[in-house]
Amino acid sequence: MQLNKQKGFTLVEIAIVLVIVGLLIGGVLKGQEMITNAKLKRVESDNAGIAAAMFSYQDRYLQLPGDDDSASTRFTIFAGPPVVAGIDGDSDGSIAGGWIGDSAAAAPDQETGNFWRHLRAAGLIPGGGLDDTQPTNAYGGNIGLRDGSMDLAGHVTVFGSIEGPIAKIIEARLDDGDPTTGRVQSTSTVAEIDAFATSTDAAYVDDDRYFMAFRL
């Protein structure tokens, strides 16, 4: 009687398979790293772009966007139809209101909401002047602006929903690594963004998401 011979993989074949698997895993990890780096750079570039747009507006019109008391006559788009009510600021040098600005609400939220409309009407950021929609960042959170946040004085940009590990990297790259001090401060509690008090987050936690405020 003739026995069937079973043929297995040789050591060379197994080694080749392991090499291929290793290359695939390495490619996936490298791809994830590239995506993370791209998102980090987008956060940084978005922040720099907003600051550049705000100061360009100020240089051009000698007013801050949102705080501009002549926007209704400066930009014909606000003359309508439809006529945009409450589009002017009070020109006091402060863009007033919470970081989630609502241009349809009563003061002081009008100015932080109209900040985006004024910049768009001036052609300094994409979109039309009637649009007060807040931009979103690379992690899906809103981008806002307000005058002061936590222990930061002066105007700040706010990026919401930043993942803990990413917030830690951004903080280390741009500031002192501490969410409670320096020109970049963070909180996991949204109410603290509109408050003038030290953040209650003493350190970054990987499982949390953060609202990061950048001093302009």
Q: pLDDT, tens digit, for every residue of 87-118?
A: 999 999 999 988 987 655 555 568 998 999 99
What kind and span of H or E run contains 146?
strand 143-149
| pLDDT 10s digits, 8-54 | 667 766 777 777 777 666 666 566 777 788 888 899 999 999 999 99
Q: Please report the pLDDT score of residue 146 as a whole number.
A: 93
Dist CA 114 CA 133 (whole Å):
9
CA 121 remoteness from chain centre:
21
Dist CA 53 CA 71 (whole Å):
16
Place of tokens 């609202």: 211
Q: DSSP assignment of 127-142, as one string?
A: S-TT--PPPB-TTS-B
Q: Please report the pLDDT score of residue 148 as a whole number.
A: 94
Using the predicted structure, report yes or no on whether residue 84 has a pLDDT greater than 90: no
- CA–CA–CA angle 142, 42, 115 (5° rounding): 40
